[in-house]
Structure 1
Amino acid sequence: MEHMKDSRAHLPSAILEVSQSQLQPLSASVLLDQELARKARLRRKGNLMTGCNELDDYVLLGGFERGSVVGLSAEEEELGLSIGLQTIARMLAKGPGKALIITTLPRTVVLLKLQKVLASQLKDPGGGKQKIKGCLERIFITTVFNIKGLWDALRELETAAQAAGTEVPQASATQDRKPEPEMDAPESGQRTRQRTEVQDTEGKVGFHPTESPLPQEPNESGAWHDDFPRSALPDIILITNISSILSVLFASCDKPTAHDTALLLSSHLHFLSRSPAYNDPLIILLNSTTSPFSQAFHDDAVTATDTATTIGEPLRQVMKRTEPTLSSIFEPTAAQQAAAHLPGQQQQPRQRNRPLFGQVFAQMLDLHLLCTRVPRTKEDAAAAAAGVGSGFVSQVWVVEVLLDEIGVYERLEAEENGALGSRRSREQRWAAVDVDEVGDGRVVDAFRG
């Protein structure tokens, strides 16, 4: 129990109050009424689209649902960032929404990408620059370096909710906090101040500095936060490089403590996404992937029982298996991998990447998408299997649903008997997409027209 005490030492008092409070039991009818009201509220607000038809219409069956936690595990985190920023840009271009980006990246890197994506969504030669500037004013960026910085960034939402006049649940009240122990801060070389605006020399579109002042020094967690407008609650919260934050967490404390902290973070993210006091935000977590045989932070591998004493080490390795919700449908089966090691077999099936941190990351999510590269055609697949260089193999991105805890209801209106209608799971649905490198960098259907 000592590690449980240590794991909570650096957490906000809001989380401690929630975890220590005695929750009163609720009847099933009350829970059903609450869920029906939440679904109706989310439907009125509408889903959030990526702008890629294959993703929105086929894979997601209508876009991302507000009030949920979505994970994007990408072989290259650049693709996950593109999908996240494209979703934000499309929301800002279509309405008055707001977004919060929590990132370990330099702010100028994120802003330059945002500028490019917004320009592709706002195709208005007459007023494009002014509209892009207006959209950027509704985006707030926080730079963090560790789990403590992430907690601090999420804490700002409480202040914004209270100032906006919404009734914040009492369990999450964070007034009169005592100073908290400091987590490991980044080296001084990392403390390079980042600005939130795109200067004239940094892009084709010139912007004036934002009116919100930046803090002169980083806070105790080594992070810089924008002065989050107290009247603004984001519709989307994008947390990039969550794998880097979790890596620091697992490297800086013992494994049980890290797991406890990750579990508390998961509970808090779900609390934020499901609370009307916080505007039912869509929370997107960007994760990376790892080789299935990598031992570093690979928490999902389970070794099968070895019943044969003559099996070689390579074959024992391919007998490793993962949870079904962590495996791609394009991943070679155990039988295919084992056959590749038999005498006379020269071709070895490509090993698929899997989400970094496995179930530790998956427990935080309502919807989990995996983004990996696959050969574009049969000829490309044959060339890849023959060991031809990657420069000669054309590839596309495949985005597939690994986990879907919420599903999509065919009918959101409650019937007289209180039913929601049939629920469709999106697990194992997938689509092929490309990044338009020669154009505006948007994520588009791979086989258009």
Structure 2
Amino acid sequence: MSEVDHGAQLPQEAALEPAKPITADLLLGIEEKQRVRFGGGKVKTGCVVLDEVLGGETRGRGDADGDGKGNGGGGLERGIVVGVSAEGREGEGVLISLNLIATMLMPYLTSSSTPKTTQPIAQIIDTTGSFPLALFANVVRSRLLSSIVPSHQTGPETANYTVVAENDNSRTAWQEGDIEELVGQALEIVAVSRVFDIEGLWEVLGEMNRPPAQTSPPAAQQQDKRETVRTSRPDWELPIEREIDDSQAETTPALSPPMEKQANEPELTTSHEEGIQILLIHTLTPLLTSTLSTRPKPEAHALITALSNTIHTLTTTHNILTILHNTAVPTSPSSKFHHESGGGSERKARRETHLAPSVFPSGTVKPALGLIFDQFVCLNILISPLPKSRGDAAVLYGHDSNNPLSSTVDPNHCLVIEILKDESPTSSSRLGAREASWTAVDVDGAGTGFVAAFEESACPRGEALGREREARGGSGARDQGEGRGRGRG
């Protein structure tokens, strides 16, 4: 076999030119064009009051920042990283994420105008091995049932229904038994990966970053790939895996395959409708905790920072809605909040750690990992239980000491969903426009979604929780924010 002098095929090394800076107006223009190209509406949870808070709306205005431009409707925009902190691994926080995923799936299940797909559009990364798939199926089933109305073309005895897609006027008649088939179709386009260390998370994120055309190439392409040089190494280290004759060596440069591949790569990433559209990591807390406890501190923080940058780049480049689950930890050893002795120290401790404080000083939980988790997210959401009425607050915090039943009666709670941080990279609204917004919700009877905790006529802006907050020492600035309609009830 004739030997090939690979050194003779290397081109002459050219002098490296310094990188030229890119002006800020050009970068901003590229980002604006990217958002226009991606387009698409916001992703909703199915609960109106919750979607208004997540979308930066206030009731009756739809313009949280007051710039007169509106905020594009309720729900979460794509292309951002959202953190959801709640108590427990399968607490109420997972219901928000499951409903957001279900919203992304609905057009593929019920709309005749949306082409069917067999590729996953949702990626779930399970770090605990206990992701509630059964609950997710129930959420999808509930959303399907909530979007159907009895068909007027067929009598009720036939058990036919008309499925109405969200934001779609098309209707398709379905038999009652077809709902289960639709649920199965929904599960087919959801990919679930189980990882138990940060290296596994890196691997899954790397697979997502590949263009859809390269994830599962046909057998013919795989055979061609074996016969050509690989482009993952520098040009001077490219191995030649097939025998090249002397005549072929003169006419076929070794560097031509990488150059052709590089020219074709932009075409593979221009399609934003294919591939993963929503990513859920359930949960990020154990991976970060394990990294911090098993690696040297500088190495652990460097690795966490690199992971945060990778998630942000993947999210913005592919216009993905990324949701990171986080656990919540108690703010104090006791669940009771003694504002006479601990209120000032609690607020001082939060200021010292530069954490965004809750609008409710009596809140008993806060996001775990503090600033370490905060660097991952653009929008930081906290879900915390609070007493539902003034009487419930008196029972919980022991102010009604003369009542012998106060120690035996369980107070009623509602879930307060508030936004601690808003640094979404959008130029259409003020930075931090959604911060300090909140709403009070309850889990619905089926356990698959949320409903408003208060009737609009009785508590249009959550005055019951506002009174409880004032009694615990709420700040004047936050009270003024509620007066502007920031609180949602």
Asked if these proteins are the same fold (TM beyond 0.5), I'd say yes
Query: Partners of 1:399 and 1:268 in 2: how far apart?
Result: 28
Deviation by residue 1:314-365 (Cα, 9 ceiling, x = unmatched)? 986774234564321102xxxxxxxxxxxxxxxxxx5632111111111111
Secondary structure in 2 matching 1:263: helix
Partner of 2:204: 153
* Aligned position for 1:288: 327
Alignment match, 1:400:
418
Please name the residue that 2:22 is paired with.
26
**Residues 326 and 391 (structure 1), Cα distance of their counterparts in 2 relative to 1, 3 Å cut:** farther
Counterpart selection for 1:68 from 80, 83, 92: 80
Give how far 1:442 is off.
Answer: 1.4
Shift of 1:147: 0.8
Q: What secondary structure, in the 3-state scheme, does the structure 1 residue paired with 2:349 have?
A: coil
Paired amino acid for 2:44: M
Alignment of 1:246-261 (within 5 A): 246-261=288-303
Deviation string 1:129-182 (CA, Å, 9 cap, x unpaired) is 1111111111000001111111111111133445279xxxxxxx99469xxxxx
Name the amino acid aligned to 1:38. Answer: Q
8 Å Cα contact 1:401/1:428 also seen in 2? yes
Aligned to 1:327: 357
Tell me if the contact between 2:363 and 2:384 (Cα under 8 Å) persists in the aligned partners: no
Please state how far the C-alpha of 1:126 moved relative to its aligned partner.
Answer: 4.5
1:50-70 superposed Cα distances (whole Å, 9 cap, x missing partner): 111111123423211111111
Query: Larger Cα Rg: Structure 1 or Structure 2?
Result: 2
1:113 to 128, 135, 145: 135
Looking at structure 2, the residues matched to 23 and 444 of structure 1 have their Cα atoms a distance apart, in angstroms, of 54
Are residues 110 and 313 of structure 1, via their aligned partners in 2, closer, same or farther at CA, if it must alter by over 3 Å? closer
CA distance in 2, matches of 1:174, 1:149: 24
Measure, in 1, the Cα distance between the counterparts of 2:301 and 2:43.
Answer: 31
Listed one character per residue, the Cα deviations across residues 91-138 of structure 1 (whole Å, up to 9, x for unaligned) are: 21134681000012336x532111110110111534201111111111
Partner of 2:259: none
1:327 counterpart letter in structure 2: P
The offset of 1:424, in angstroms, is 6.8
Structure-2 change in CA distance of 1:421 and 1:270 (3 Å): closer
Cα offset for 1:284?
0.3
CA–CA distance in 1 between the matches of 2:96 and 2:278? 13
The answer to whether the 8 A contact 1:326-1:358 is kept is no
> For 2:358 and 2:429, how far apart are their aligned partners in 1?
29
Name the residue aligned to 1:204.
none
Distance 1:269 1:378, change over 3 A: same
1:37 aligns with 2:44: no
Residues 39 and 380 of structure 1, relative CA distance in 2, 3 Å threshold: same
CA–CA distance in structure 2, aligned partners of residues 154 and 405 of structure 1: 23
**Kept in 1: contact 2:363–2:386 (CA 8 A):** no
1:49 maps to: 44
- Give the whole-Å Cα distance in 1 for the aligned partners of 2:20 and 2:372: 28
Q: Which amino acid aligns with 2:438?
A: W
Q: Which digits, 9 at most, give the CA deviation of each residue in 1:2-37, with x for residues without a partner?
A: xxxxxxxxxxxxxxxxxxxx9752101211111211
Cα distance in 2, alignment partners of residues 314 and 374 from structure 1: 17
Q: Secondary structure at the match of 1:400?
A: strand
- The CA distance in 1 between the partners of 2:448 and 2:180, in whole Å, is 18
Q: 1:367–1:320: structure 2 CA closer, same or farther, 3 Å change rule?
A: same
In structure 2, the partner of 1:443 is 450
Question: What residue in structure 2 maps to residue 361 of structure 1?
Answer: 373
Amino acid at match of 1:138: I
Letter in 2 for 1:54: V
C-alpha distance in structure 2 between counterparts of 1:250 and 1:428, whole Å = 30
- Name which of 104, 119, 128 aligns with 1:91: 104
Give CA deviations for 1:383-416 in whole Å, capped at 9, x if unaligned: 111175586100011111111012766xxxxxxx
1:186-221 CA distance string (max 9 Å, x none) = xxxxxxxxxxxxxxxxxxxxxxxxxxxxxxxxxxxx
Deviation at 1:439, TM superposition (A): 1.6
Question: Which residue type is aligned with residue 328 of structure 1?
Answer: S
Q: Distance in 2 between matches of 1:126 and 1:24?
A: 62
**For residue 129 of structure 2, what is the amino acid of its counterpart?**
P
- Aligned pairs (5 A) from 1:104-183: 104-106=127-129, 109-123=131-145, 125-161=176-212, 163=214, 175=232
Q: Distance in 2 between matches of 1:174 and 1:257?
A: 29
Aligned length: 317
User: Amino acid of the residue matched to residue 116 of structure 1?
Assistant: N
TM value normalised by structure 1: 0.64
Maintained 8 Å contact 1:325/1:403: no
CA distance in 2, matches of 1:314, 1:56: 32
Please say if residues 97 and 323 of structure 2, whose CA atoms lie closer than 8 Å, have aligned partners that are also in contact.
yes
The alignment's TM-score, normalised by the length of structure 2, stands at 0.59
Distance 1:316 1:440 in 2: 38
Which residue identity lines up with residue 255 of structure 1 in the other structure?
K
Gaps of 5+ in 1: 1-21, 166-172, 178-230, 295-311, 332-349, 410-419
State the alpha-carbon separation in 2 of the partners of residues 158 and 313 from structure 1: 48
Worse overlay, 399-408 or 354-363: 399-408
CA contact (8 A) 1:400 1:428 kept: yes
The farther-off stretch of 248-257 and 369-378 is 248-257
Q: Residue 128 of structure 2 contacts residue 196 of structure 2 at CA under 8 Å; is this kept in 1? A: no
Structure 2 contact 379–421 (Cα < 8 Å) conserved: yes
Question: Counterpart in 2 of 1:426?
Answer: 434
Distance 1:383 1:293, change over 3 A: closer
- Deviating more after overlay: 281-290 vs 57-66: 57-66
- Alpha-carbon distance in structure 2 between the residues aligned to 1:293 and 1:149: 34
Q: Using the alignment, how far apart are the partners of 2:432 and 2:357 within structure 1?
A: 20
Q: RMSD of the alignment, in Å?
A: 3.1
Give the whole-Å Cα distance in 1 for the aligned partners of 2:32 and 2:320.
18
- 2:413 matched to 1:374? no
The Cα shift of 1:80 comes to: 1.3
CA distance 1:423–1:397, change in 2 (3 Å): same
Matched residue of 2:434: which SS?
coil
